[in-house]
Chain A
């Protein structure tokens, strides 16, 4: 089935909120990429520029007490779930004040205070963990929903099959979202994927599945709303297959020469923020107001970056904390 149509009842206020969130995600990542150029953001950054509609549209339907699991490309999901941008920027710079105390960085960002149980550096690993989080929710008879986002590259790993099967047989409250940007790292996913892809595989396991345009934030929002409603009603897991496009390379260091400039230019014309702005403009929102959304987001992330730069690195002593209760890593091995 396709996603429910937003129809004629356009909720301008809600779309404006999506517009703001999408701008916050983009501004955060553009600032992070500048930080990479400045060599203060370290390691690998995986930008989701061009994919913001999935993050904004999905997370807008999650309550603070709902749970979210993300991927190595998870800044947008994390911001959408309500994490603080300054704490996230501190984490990317490896500083005190970071969500994970500078131990995780971009690929392991997590904010348990807002139900965000972690980005994951291993593709598809979050799918089985999400199934387990939902399993616990069911055992405890809690009303929360678990949302698990992953890329199209994940559908060729075993935990995709195992996690979806698990969620379906135990009828767990989990929403799986395949954020399909067409590339598994730097290789076109369809060149190494048999069959009709993510949605078809989910349907084969009996999961009701929505196929949708992941660059249309209204479509993502509407489909997620319907899926979350069904999950909360106890109907079991749901699957969204959202097609989008990554405008940058796989990482901040990837020039993405495996695709043509023409292809990227064409996809840039369909990117989600511009499309949302167009609808808002047609509905009477002034271009100054839309520009103000962008400006506010850029200011927020610039300030977050400034605060992170001013924060100290964590004391070296913390390299030995939070390992395990049993045994002292400084002493036991020698």
Chain B
């Protein structure tokens, strides 16, 4: 096992899948020059400009063309640069990609992957910073992946490329440089299988994407106070590992969901409601969730920081839940 950055792991996953399957190709703006963050650097040299294809700044055409190309048996990997820009292609993703298999009665499949980098990235402001994963979890037909580690980027991206369903693949921009161990070669992470980052008896924290690392910091601090957190990284929001979370909360009796996205109607609400429905009477404390306030993300660092779910905020919520505040 070697170490790699989150970005390198994604690049390796795509390259391995393109070597394995000649029908896999990537398309998006500036891919030939390596992509906006360098995720595609070097790939055009190996695979040529037809398979690492530059596209006009036409999000609807990029995603719509991917739908048509997927229905014709190829496996496009679509780059949207920022999740915010993918909104220019919502019809193509929500009305076309997600629905084609069903509304055509199973005559076709749309095996495409849409890479939508999410999250706050210092001073990118309101149109380059959103975490919109909950929107897609709401749409029947879509898979939603939000990896938090280099190993998961590799394993989930490879699974996504091999999936016959359309997959919204959300990488966090603040994690591109994160370095960690990544299994060599055939490393596949299945959809809907959460990862327990640390076991604990007192409180279950559920998180995903970059927020997982904030929760790790909080859990360390809480451990120093004698509060043992069981931290679960969902990895995919649809499907999500309900069984794993239920099992954990049965044990701890307490659930906190923490995510970077706006709390209102966020995916944390789905997790919280599910646990409340199943375990309501047996909980030791009311289910809690932490997310951003329902405001926009500003440019100036102090304003940006004001909407973050921080480790101290998580620590405080957990202390409150266990009656130690």
Contact = CB atoms under 8 A, between A and B. Distances in A.
Interface centre among A129, A139, A334 (most CB of B within 10 A): A129
Contact of B61 (A69, A118, A162, A329): A162
A140 B50 CA distance: 11
B68 A165 contact: no
B101 interface: yes
Interface string B186-228: 0000011000000000000000000000000000000000000
B286 interface: no
Interface in B47-68: 50-51, 55-56, 58, 60-61, 63-68
A66 B255 CA distance: 55
A117 B68 CA distance: 9
Contact of B96 (A104, A125, A165, A329): A125
A325 B163 contact: yes
Given A108-B103, A112-B107, A163-B61, A135 B68 contact: yes
Given A117-B71, A159-B60, A129 B65 contact: yes
Interface in B1-35: 23, 25
Contacts of A35: none
Contact of A136 (B51, B73, B164, B238): B73
Given A125-B92, A165-B56, A112 B108 contact: yes
Interface stretch (A95-103, A267-275, A299-307): A95-103
Interface in B86-112: 91-92, 95-96, 100-108
B143 A129 contact: no
A110 B107 contact: yes
Interface in A228-278: none
B103 A104 contact: yes
Interface stretch (A9-17, A26-34, A316-324): A316-324
Contact of A110 (B58, B96, B104): B104
Contact of B64 (A103, A159, A322, A324): A159
Interface in B134-173: 140-143, 163-165
A129 B60 CA distance: 10
Interface centre among A98, A127, A323, A324 (most CB of B within 10 A): A324
Contacts of A133: 68-69, 71-72
Contacts of A325: 163-165
A67 B104 contact: no
A100 B65 contact: no
Contact of A101 (B71, B95, B106, B142): B106
Nearest to A133: B68
B141 A323 contact: yes
A325 B61 CA distance: 26
B106 A163 contact: no
B58 A162 contact: yes
A101 B74 contact: no
Contacts of A132: 64-72, 76
B183 interface: no
A321 B140 CA distance: 11
B69 A332 contact: no
A165 B238 CA distance: 34
B192 A139 contact: no
Interface string A107-139: 010111100011011100101111111111101
A131 B103 contact: no
A143 to B, nearest CB: 13
A78 to B, nearest CB: 12
B251 interface: no
A327 B66 contact: no
Nearest to A110: B104
Contacts of A121: 95
A67 B100 CA distance: 16
B41 interface: no
A112 B109 CA distance: 11
A158 interface: yes
Contacts of B104: 99-100, 103-104, 108, 110, 112, 118
B107 A324 contact: no
B284 interface: no
A134 B50 CA distance: 13
B239 interface: yes
A313 interface: no
List of 8 A-B pairs having minimum Cβ-Cβ separation, nearest first: A128-B64, A132-B68, A132-B65, A100-B105, A136-B72, A162-B61, A101-B105, A327-B239
29 contacts: A99-B104, A99-B107, A102-B105, A103-B103, A104-B104, A108-B104, A110-B107, A122-B91, A122-B95, A122-B96, A125-B95, A128-B64, A129-B64, A132-B67, A136-B70, A136-B72, A136-B74, A139-B25, A162-B58, A166-B65, A169-B56, A322-B102, A322-B105, A324-B165, A325-B163, A325-B165, A326-B165, A326-B239, A332-B242
Interface of B: 23, 25, 50-51, 55-56, 58, 60-61, 63-74, 76, 91-92, 95-96, 100-108, 140-143, 163-165, 191-192, 236, 238-239, 242, 277
